[in-house]
A and B are shown apart, each in its own frame.
Chain A
Amino acid sequence: QQPVQSPQAVILREGEDAVINCSSSKALYSVHWYRQKHGEAPVFLMILLKGGEQKGHDKISASFNEKKQQSSLYLTASQLSYSGTYFCGTEISSGNTPLVFGKGTRLSVIA
């Protein structure tokens, strides 16, 4: 079942922060976050595994609350290059399984 992402779209000015949420009705094994720019393939950002994991690099970080079956992506001090559509992809088990993607969150960063 497709995870639910919120918000659907957000507009930020450079330097502002944003949070994108991803929730599932099923227990999750992992959550993957991707950013896709128009006309391009998705680019991997990070993977979070079961266990309340948190990760981050540069000014993008994420958390995974397995009990609530939710993950959040945090973008701080946004830059113009952060613009794009963010997708969460979920796995319900380990092993060679496909990702089920949310509908995406369109992020626009303006100067």
Chain B
Amino acid sequence: GAVVSQHPSWVICKSGTSVKIECRSLDFQATTMFWYRQFPKQSLMLMATSNEGSKATYEQGVEKDKFLINHASLTLSTLTVTSAHPEDSSFYICSANPGGGYSNQPQHFGDGTRLSIL
């Protein structure tokens, strides 16, 4: 079945560091991918929609200059957390729809990246 791979699984780094997270669709092309963030004991909240070949669409309250999204190919989207601070510590997870949203298939999620900023 369709698989979404996310890397790395976890990151621990010092405050001020920039961290890049990759999201790959392994056996399908994804013109659109979604990035969510989940704080402990909370729900998944959409951060942004990543669009291949064009600018990402950010949700209200998400700083586009802090969370840089690049979707350079049909199988790869990257999220870079720039100058990360402890409040950015969270579980980041991406998803994509193998059917492009038109074949009523579910969203496929990556395994998530647990980011801890010291």
Which of chain B's residues have a CB closer than 8 A to the CB of A103? 42-43
Bound Cα distance from A41 to B95, whole angstroms: 11
The B interface is mostly helix, strand or loop, or mixed, namely loop
Q: Are A42 and B44 in contact, CB atoms less than 8 angstroms apart? A: yes
Contacts between chains A and B (CB distance < 8 A), count: 58
A7 to B97, CA, bound (A): 29
Chain B CB count within 10 A is highest, among A42, A94, A96, for A96
With the chains together, A2 CA to B93 CA distance in Å?
Answer: 18
User: Pick the contact of A87 from B34, B44, B102, B111 — CB < 8 Å?
Assistant: B44
Q: Cα distance A102–B93 when bound, in Å?
A: 16
Q: Which of B74-104 contact A (CB under 8 A)?
A: 93, 95, 97, 100-102, 104
Q: Which of B46, B100, B101, B104 contacts A49 (CB 8 A)?
A: B104
User: Is B32 touching A100 in the complex (CB atoms < 8 A)?
Assistant: no
**A41 with B43, Cβ < 8 A, contacts A47-B104, A94-B101, A95-B102 known:** no
CB within 8 Å of B: which A4-54 residues: 30, 32, 39-42, 44, 47, 49
Residue contact B43 to A102, C-beta cutoff 8 Å: yes
**Contact A32:B111 (CB < 8 A) given known A95-B102, A101-B44:** no
Report A-chain residues with C-beta under 8 Å of the C-beta of B45. 101
Q: A41-B93, A94-B101 are in contact. Are A100 and B111 (CB under 8 A)?
A: no
Closest to A89 in B: B107
Residues of A within 8 A of B97 (CB): 96
Interface string of A83-104 (1 = CB under 8 A from B): 0000101000011111111111
Alpha-carbon gap, A104 to B38, bound state (A): 12
CB distance from B103 to the nearest CB of A (A): 10
B residues sitting closer than 8 Å to A (CB atoms) are 31-32, 34, 42-46, 49, 93, 95, 97, 100-102, 104-112, 114
